[in-house]
């Protein structure tokens, strides 16, 4: 979200910036703003005329003169003032709503274009060369008794899963492993957030008003969170922080709920795109001077998870049309999945600059006492279901068994492998 005063001072910066995400609306906002200010000035002028007419009427009455014509004129002025004020009531929220729908301006280092313009920065690890035909996680997981899609579909519908037995334990192990790494090694403060938020929180992180259809809403106005980013970023909403408190680092496990509007036919099998999934989220609040350094640190924190699990991955800078509306710059971590024979996203690490903080009113006071909006960052550290799928596919053996990564064995009671007869 942007400051209207800044938009007035440098309109071309905002026109060019949102156009990089193939969006518009800045000119409309500024036209409406000019109209609002002109009408406001008109109201002030009419009020001055009404005050002058009121004094003139009083003088005429004291002198015993006829003031009926002046009274009629003053009533007309009053009616005109009320008419303009009524229009201004509608105009102000319309301008605010249009500003709230503008996307964030991409950082200058972000490549323009669609997914074909994403910029690969590096690859870590080498995809395994199998001596047999590897199975997809949705097949091997079922064979090992680790997941049940059929009964989940009966209970809930498509795009849901029951994790069962060793599969459920693997999910729990991944959550605990990630939280321990981020709190003990990376210095994050762990939160366990609400899974339902109000509309003010959804607005603060820019899910509302633009992406209401992507969320599940309860009958009493709450929203199921699409990611722990929403409650955790809003944890410091409407607060003024001290600059020396920053950066603040929070991590949180949560279930996540997404309607997947517009994704019909995509990733219908397995755990890649479900309505409910688990994630460990990383959130940082930083000063404006430090936020891009913090983005590099946050991204490396997420990479550490994949490196500890010895999963091959790559890091990609998303192009302007691939990143989210609210992001100024996003790194995607993509893990290798043999079933797709390619890399698939497992974490997005983004800097939103002051875009979310303006909406959520998160500010900090510098050493000179001046107030600034904080810069907010977040990233998956990482998506648990996708890590589960990547482990099942990358650690499978020809005999149908699944080797447990070394890093997870302490969280699996020392279990080194899952075999068909043990599942």
What pTM value is reported for the model?
0.90
C-beta separation of 325 from 206 below 8 A:
yes
| Per-residue pLDDT, 317 | 98
| Per-residue pLDDT, 87 | 79
CB atoms within 10 A of CB 406: 11
| 280 and 319 both lie in a single domain | yes
C-beta separation of 241 from 225 below 8 A:
no
Q: What's the domain range around 94?
A: 4-101
| 88 and 153 both lie in a single domain | no
Q: Active site residue: 254, 348, 350, 380, which one? A: 348
Q: Active site residue: 258, 284, 344, 359, which one? A: 258
d(CA 247, CA 250): 10
What is the per-residue DSSP string for 50-68?
HHHHHHHHHHHHHTT---H
Tokens 């890590």, residue? 387
Q: Does the structure show a pLDDT above 90 at 216?
A: yes
**273 assigned to active site:** yes
Q: What is the pLDDT of residues 281-306, one digit of tens each?
A: 999 999 999 999 999 999 999 999 99
Average pLDDT over residues 140-163: 96
| 60 and 162 both lie in a single domain | no
| Per-residue pLDDT, 422 | 55
| 68 and 195 both lie in a single domain | no
Supply the mean pLDDT for the chain.
94
| 168 and 190 both lie in a single domain | yes
Average pLDDT over residues 35-63: 84
| Per-residue pLDDT, 26 | 97
Number of domains forming the structure of the chain: 2
| Helix intervals (H) in 268-314 | 291-308
Token pair belonging to 90: 């509608």
| Per-residue pLDDT, 1 | 86
Phi, psi of 171 (to 5 degrees): -60, -45
Higher pLDDT, 63 or 13: 13
CB atoms within 10 A of CB 223: 21
Q: Does the structure show a pLDDT above 60 at 277?
A: yes
**345 assigned to active site:** yes
**386 assigned to active site:** yes
Q: Active site residue: 8, 101, 237, 273, which one? A: 273
Per-residue pLDDT band at 266 (split at 50, 70, 90):
low
| 241 and 313 both lie in a single domain | yes
| 129 and 95 both lie in a single domain | no
Q: Does the structure show a pLDDT above 90 at 72?
A: no
Token pair belonging to 246: 């920053």
Q: Active site residue: 56, 288, 345, 361, which one? A: 345
| Per-residue pLDDT, 264 | 59
Token pair belonging to 78: 């009053």
């Amino acid at each position: 979200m942007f400051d209207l005063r800044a938009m007035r001072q440098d309109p071309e910066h905002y026109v060019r910036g949102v156009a990089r995400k193939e969006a518009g609306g800045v000119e409309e906002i500024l036209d409406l703003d000019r109209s609002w200010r002109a009408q406001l000035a008109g109201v002030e002028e009419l009020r001055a005329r009404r005050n002058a007419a009121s004094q003139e009427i009083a003088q005429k009455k004291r002198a015993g003169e006829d003031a009926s014509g002046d009274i009629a004129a003053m009533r007309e002025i009053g009616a005109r003032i009320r008419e303009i004020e009524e229009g201004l009531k509608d105009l102000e929220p319309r301008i605010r709503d249009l500003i709230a729908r503008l996307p964030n301006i991409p950082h200058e280092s972000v490549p323009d274009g669609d997914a074909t313009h994403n910029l690969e920065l590096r690859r870590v690890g080498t995809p395994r060369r199998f001596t047999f035909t590897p199975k997809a996680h949705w097949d091997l997981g079922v064979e090992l008794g680790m997941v049940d899609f059929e009964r989940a579909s009966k209970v809930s519908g498509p795009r849901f899963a029951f994790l069962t037995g060793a599969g459920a334990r693997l999910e729990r192990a991944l959550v605990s492993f990630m939280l321990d790494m981020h709190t003990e090694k990376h210095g994050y403060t762990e939160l366990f957030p609400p899974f339902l938020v109000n509309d003010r929180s959804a607005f603060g992180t820019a899910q509302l008003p633009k992406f209401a259809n992507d969320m599940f809403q309860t009958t009493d106005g709450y929203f199921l969170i699409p990611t722990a980013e929403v409650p955790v970023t809003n944890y410091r909403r409407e607060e003024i922080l001290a600059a020396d408190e920053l950066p603040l680092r929070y991590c949180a496990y949560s279930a996540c709920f997404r309607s997947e509007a517009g994704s019909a036919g995509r990733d219908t099998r397995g755990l890649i795109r479900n309505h409910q999934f688990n994630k460990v989220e990383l959130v940082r609040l930083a000063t404006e001077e430090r936020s891009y350094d913090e983005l590099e640190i946050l991204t490396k924190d997420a990479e550490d998870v994949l490196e500890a699990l010895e999963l091959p991955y790559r890091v990609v800078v998303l192009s302007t049309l691939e990143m989210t509306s609210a992001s100024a710059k996003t790194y995607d971590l993509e893990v290798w999945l043999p079933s797709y024979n390619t890399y698939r996203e497992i974490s997005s690490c983004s800097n939103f600059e002051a875009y979310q903080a303006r909406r959520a009113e998160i500010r900090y006071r510098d050493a000179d006492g001046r107030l600034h909006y904080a810069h907010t960052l977040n990233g998956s550290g990482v998506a648990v279901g996708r890590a589960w799928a990547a482990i099942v596919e990358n650690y499978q053996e020809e005999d149908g068994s699944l080797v447990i990564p070394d890093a997870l064995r302490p969280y699996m009671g020392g279990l080194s492998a899952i075999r068909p007869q043990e599942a």
